[in-house]
Amino acid sequence: MNDAVKLLFEMAYLPVAQTKNRYNGGDFLKVAVELLDDIRKNTNSTDEIKDAATTMVYCFNDLLNPKLTAQECDGMINLLVENNPMIRCATYFE
């Protein structure tokens, strides 16, 4: 599943980043939240959702310079997995 999630994330996120000529956390969240919503529709497994969120966060982090710390990545993963309303709100603002 991780390879499929990585491919889907890259297909959805990279064109947005290339169009804007930047890697943006807001754009990342829009893509990640939408993909995780689709994954949630197809599984009830928290482990699968966490694996998908982890894959997307670390794929995004690989693009960044400077990189997010491990703590920042873990925090982002937890917010995505918990489906935190603040993450959903952040996707509406740019």
* Average pLDDT of the segment spanning 1-12: 91
% pLDDT > 70, the chain:
94
Do 59 and 10 form a contact (C-beta atoms < 8 A)? yes
pLDDT of amino acid 90: 66
**Tell me, what amino acid is at 23?**
Y
Do 56 and 32 form a contact (C-beta atoms < 8 A)? yes
* Whether the model pTM is above 0.85: yes
Q: Model confidence over 32-75: pLDDT tens digits?
A: 999 999 999 999 899 999 999 999 999 999 999 899 999 999 99
pLDDT of amino acid 37: 92
Q: Residue 94 pLDDT > 60, yes or no? A: no
